[in-house]
C-alpha cells in the first residue's frame, strides 16, 4: 500500500520524528527545547512514527517523515534509526512516506547504508541538513550518496537558510549558516539532472537564490516549511503563484509548526484558487510518483 492522493486532503513533505518507539527520546543536550523556543512553539511533544501517523490520519493528510543524522558534528547516533522509521512507516503506509538521513561524512559506509535503506527498507528519499551535518552540498564527498539516490529515482531534500538548530545558544551551538546557502545546491542540480531535489523552507536570507535555482533547474522544487505563511517574503508568494506553481510544496516542520497553524495562515495568503491544490497536494503527489498509484 502507498498513499492514495484521492484519500487525503494534503501532503506535508516536511515532518520530524523526534522519539523512538523503544524509549522516551533521551537527552539531546537541550537542543529540542532550544528549537521549540526559537519557534515560540511552547511545550512540544516528541513524536514517534505511530504518533505522527495518528496525528495526520485524523486530519486526512499524508506526511513525509524523517530524522537527521548529525553524527559527525554532534557525536551522537541518530535515534530513532532510519530502519525504525522505515519499518514503522511501512505499518502506516496509507499516510506516511519514509525518508532517511545519512551524514555524508560517513563516506563509503554511508553510501552502502543508503543503498540498503532503499532496496531493503523502502525509503523514498533522503534528508540533508548542511548546517547540522557540517558540509556544503556541492562537496564532492557527498556525490556518491547523490548517485545512489538518483539511480533509484528518489528525492533529496536539503535544509536551506537560517535554522532553529542552535539558535540562541552560545555561538549558535557552533553551527555555521553558510553551509545552507541554497546556491550550493545548484551544482548538485546541474551535475545530477535526474535527481529530484527539494529546497526546504523559505531560504532566509537567500530567498532569491532559491527562486533562481528552482526556476532554472527543472529538477528543483521548494517546500514552504518552517515558517508561518504570513511571514513569507513577497517574491516567494509571487513565484508560487506563477513560474513555480508546479514546483512549490506544502510543508509544516511539524512538530515545531503544526499543520493546523500553517494551513490557517496559508488560507489567508493571496494564492490563486487554481494554485492552492497544487501546493497542498498535487505537486507532491506527482513528485513522489503517487499519481500513478495502482
In a domain, 294, yes or no: no
Q: Are 53 and 96 in contact (CB under 8 A)?
A: yes
* Structural domain boundaries enclosing 254: 5-287
In a domain, 293, yes or no: no
pLDDT digit string (tens) for the chain, length 294 residues: 689 999 999 999 999 999 999 875 444 444 555 544 544 545 568 899 999 999 999 999 999 999 999 999 888 887 899 999 999 999 999 999 999 999 999 999 999 999 999 999 999 999 999 999 999 999 999 999 999 999 999 999 999 998 888 777 888 888 899 999 999 999 999 999 999 999 999 999 999 999 999 999 999 999 999 999 999 999 999 999 999 999 999 999 999 999 999 999 999 999 999 999 999 999 999 999 998 654
In a domain, 283, yes or no: yes
pLDDT value, residue 66: 97
Q: What is the CATH number of the domain that holds 246?
A: 3.20.20.140
In a domain, 64, yes or no: yes
In a domain, 292, yes or no: no
pLDDT value, residue 116: 98
pLDDT value, residue 21: 92
Q: How many domains does the chain have?
A: 1
Q: Are 50 and 88 in contact (CB under 8 A)?
A: yes
In a domain, 54, yes or no: yes
Type and span of the H or E element at 11: strand 10-16
Spatial separation of the C-alpha atoms in residues 200 and 155, rounded to whole Å? 12
Edge-first strand listing for the sheet containing 61-66 = 10-16, 61-66, 96-98
Spatial separation of the C-alpha atoms in residues 268 and 59, rounded to whole Å? 20
In a domain, 128, yes or no: yes
Amino acid at each position: 500500500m502507498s498513499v492514495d492522493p484521492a484519500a487525503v486532503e494534503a501532503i506535508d513533505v516536511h515532518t520530524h520524528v523526534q522519539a523512538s518507539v523503544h524509549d522516551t527520546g533521551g537527552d539531546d543536550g537541550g537542543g529540542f527545547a532550544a528549537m521549540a523556543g526559537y519557534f515560540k512553539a511552547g511545550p512540544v511533544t516528541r513524536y514517534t512514527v505511530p504518533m505522527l501517523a495518528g496525528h495526520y490520519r485524523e486530519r486526512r493528510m499524508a506526511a513525509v517523515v524523517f530524522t537527521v543524522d548529525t553524527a559527525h558534528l554532534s557525536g551522537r547516533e541518530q535515534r530513532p534509526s532510519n530502519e525504525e522509521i522505515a519499518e514503522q512507516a511501512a505499518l502506516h503506509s496509507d499516510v506516511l512516506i519514509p525518508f532517511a538521513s545519512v551524514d555524508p561524512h560517513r563516506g563509503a559506509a554511508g553510501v552502502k547504508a543508503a543503498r540498503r535503506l532503499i532496496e531493503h527498507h523502502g525509503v523514498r528519499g533522503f534528508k540533508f541538513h548542511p548546517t547540522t551535518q557540517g558540509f556544503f552540498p556541492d562537496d564532492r564527498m557527498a556525490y556518491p550518496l547523490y548517485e545512489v539516490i538518483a539511480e533509484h529515482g528518489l528525492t533529496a531534500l536539503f535544509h536551506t537558510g537560517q535554522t532553529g538548530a542552535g539558535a540562541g545558544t552560545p555561538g549558535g551551538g557552533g553551527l555555521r549558516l553558510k553551509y545552507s546557502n541554497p546556491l550550493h545546491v545548484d551544482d548538485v542540480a546541474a551535475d545530477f539532472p535526474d535527481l529530484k531535489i527539494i529546497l526546504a523552507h523559505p531560504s532566509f536570507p537567500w530567498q532569491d537564490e532559491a527562486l533562481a535555482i528552482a526556476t532554472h533547474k527543472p529538477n528543483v522544487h521548494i517546500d514552504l516549511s518552517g515558517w508561518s505563511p504570513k511571514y513569507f517574503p513577497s517574491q516567494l508568494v509571487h513565484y508560487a503563484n506563477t513560474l513555480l506553481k508546479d514546483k512549490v510544496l506544502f510543508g509544516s516542520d511539524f512538530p515545531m509548526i503544526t499543520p493546523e497553524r500553517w494551513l490557517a495562515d496559508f488560507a489567508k495568503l493571496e494564492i490563486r484558487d487554481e494554485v492552492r491544490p497544487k501546493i497542498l497536494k498535487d505537486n507532491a503527489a506527482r513528485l513522489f510518483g503517487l499519481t500513478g498509484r495502482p
